[in-house]
Structure 1
Amino acid sequence: MVDALSRAGRVIGVLIVIQMIGGFLVNFVLEAPLFGAPGFLPNAAPHSHAIALGALVGLLIEALWVGIAVTAFPVFYERAPARALWLLALAAVILALAVVENASVMSMVTVSEAYAKASAAERAQLETVRVVVSSARNWVHYMARMTDGFAIFVFYAAVYRLRVIPRILGGFGIVAALLQVIAVAMPFFHRDVVFPMLAPLGLCQLIVAVWLLVKGFRAEPRSAIGLGNA
């Protein structure tokens, strides 16, 4: 049982590390031209291959949530069945949103390629749809990141309940996940994303990933057994 817990924790640690590396590559390397000046209309077409790769990598790293949920399920379900089921359901929603978001990214590339080939008059027409195309991607992105935050909240709520990692890390993760949800929800209230509020979760994920890679999940202390399912 202890070996199975440790192995499950290490697998999840590896998946978290892959997500963090992939997220950095997508946001700051492969898809960076979409968001730099002078905008995606002139920028996306010359970088279409990198952006397409970014869309595929983005889809892959979000799909890893299914792997995390499936790996965690036997660990969580016995003593925290509601959290185990919620994590699995949210992983499925995350994957669905990732498909829509990355399809929207490729739509931005398609519009940019049309812009590159267009005459001056046609470019003026494409400028009118620029906001629509970018907004279609952005609103799905915000909802996807909020759903990520909810999934991370459920994950840390489960590990906090089961004590399979130090409770201080589980509590830190719960707070950090809530901060992410609040930060990326700001555009729904006509405010900018509060990027500094995302930093605690990045730090927490890194610390927990290292912990899991080194130690895996630990067995729930005997004193905690018998408190009942949650």
Structure 2
Amino acid sequence: MHPAGLPSPRSAFAIGRRVGLLLLLQLAAALTLPFILTQSLVGGSLAFLTGGAAHAATIRAAVLLSFVGATLTVLLGITAFPVLRRHSQAAAIGFVVVCAGSATLDLVQAAHTLSMLAVSQAFVAAGAAEAERYQVVGVIVAAARRAAHTTQLVAIGAWLFVFYGSLLRFRLVPRVLAGIGLLGVVLQFSGVTLMMLLGQRAIGTLAMPLLPIQITVAIWLLVKGFDEHLPPPAGSASGS
């Protein structure tokens, strides 16, 4: 370790590799698979009322996986903290905070997913006689989950923006790579998250570049780690 507890270039390299691994694991456990496994809940109330119970095991697996993903998100903030603190303590603390906030909203969204599953199972058990009543309930719980999901996407965008912004600002990876990462986050937010906040139809194609970008950055960090050979940019705060 350097003076004042700051990481040496060697330890920063190791930390960067751990962050790269966490990015890949978190991408699968939090940003990809849970959304794929809960596709039976997407659509109108009648669609999820009939489809949710039929895919109960898959949905529960997605919820359990989201707990793993939330944990990985928090670990990502904690793992990157020593390197970010070398450049800016505020940035390091801020990244941990947005990661923790994102993880919390992941779990809120998971709770709404379980609510939809419970309503679907009750609908199937009740039969046709209660169909109309459960359709009303279905509209309510589906709307609540959509609102939670939208808020979750805002939080995901926040930690991604802080992450790539820190990589760019502190030159922890090649600036071109960090800049492309920021662009991918902006495109995803503009095409999906912002459209959902405005009550408009999401433009899914704008979110597509973020997946290969995230994989590329993760692999780069696995191979190269954080670049700590360059000094912090002039004027940035020091963790000491």
- TM bracket (short chain): over 0.9
Distance 1:218 1:107 in 2: 45
SS in 2 for 1:229: coil
Distance 2:204 2:49 in 1: 25
Aligned counterpart in structure 2 of residue 12 of structure 1, from 6, 9, 19 = 19
C-alpha contact 1:70 1:88 (8 A) present in aligned 2: yes
Residue 21 (structure 1) shift: 2.3
Match of residue 157 from structure 2? 149
C-alpha contact 1:81 1:229 (8 A) present in aligned 2: no
C-alpha contact 1:150 1:177 (8 A) present in aligned 2: no
Deviates more, 1:165-174 or 1:34-43: 34-43
Distance 1:64 1:185 in 2: 25
Match of residue 220 from structure 2? 211
C-alpha contact 1:180 1:201 (8 A) present in aligned 2: yes
Distance 1:85 1:34 in 2: 36
Deviates more, 1:150-159 or 1:34-43: 34-43
Distance 2:172 2:225 in 1: 8
5+ residue gaps, structure 2, are: 1-7
Q: Could you tell me the TM-score, scaled by structure 1's length?
A: 0.92
Residue 98 (structure 1) shift: 1.2
Deviates more, 1:136-145 or 1:37-46: 37-46
Runs of 4+ in 1 over 3 A off after TM superposition: none
Residue 99 (structure 1) shift: 1.4
Distance 1:7 1:70 in 2: 14
Deviates more, 1:106-115 or 1:193-202: 193-202
CA distances 1:131-169 after superposition (whole Å, capped 9, x unpaired): 110111111111111111111111111111111111111
Distance 2:170 2:92 in 1: 12
The alignment-based identity, stated in percent, is: 32
> Does residue 107 of the first structure (1) align with residue 118 of the second (2)?
no
CA distances 1:36-58 after superposition (whole Å, capped 9, x unpaired): 68611011112111101101102
5+ residue gaps, structure 1, are: none
Equivalent runs, 1:50-69 vs 2, <5 Å: 50-69=58-77
Distance 2:116 2:161 in 1: 31
Match of residue 3 from structure 2? none
CA distances 1:173-218 after superposition (whole Å, capped 9, x unpaired): 1222122222212122221112111122212101101101111112
SS in 2 for 1:44: helix
Distance 2:22 2:177 in 1: 18
Distance 2:184 2:94 in 1: 19
Aligned counterpart in structure 2 of residue 132 of structure 1, from 132, 136, 140 = 140
Distance 1:36 1:187 in 2: 14
Aligned counterpart in structure 1 of residue 92 of structure 2, from 53, 61, 84 = 84
CA distances 1:17-72 after superposition (whole Å, capped 9, x unpaired): 112223432222x2222226861101111211110110110222133111111011
1:32 counterpart letter in structure 2: Q
Match of residue 130 from structure 2? 122
Aligned counterpart in structure 2 of residue 201 of structure 1, from 205, 210, 223 = 210
Distance 1:95 1:25 in 2: 16
2:132 counterpart letter in structure 1: A
Equivalent runs, 1:175-186 vs 2, <5 Å: 175-183=183-191, 184-186=193-195
1:4 counterpart letter in structure 2: S
SS in 2 for 1:159: helix
Deviates more, 1:105-114 or 1:54-63: 54-63
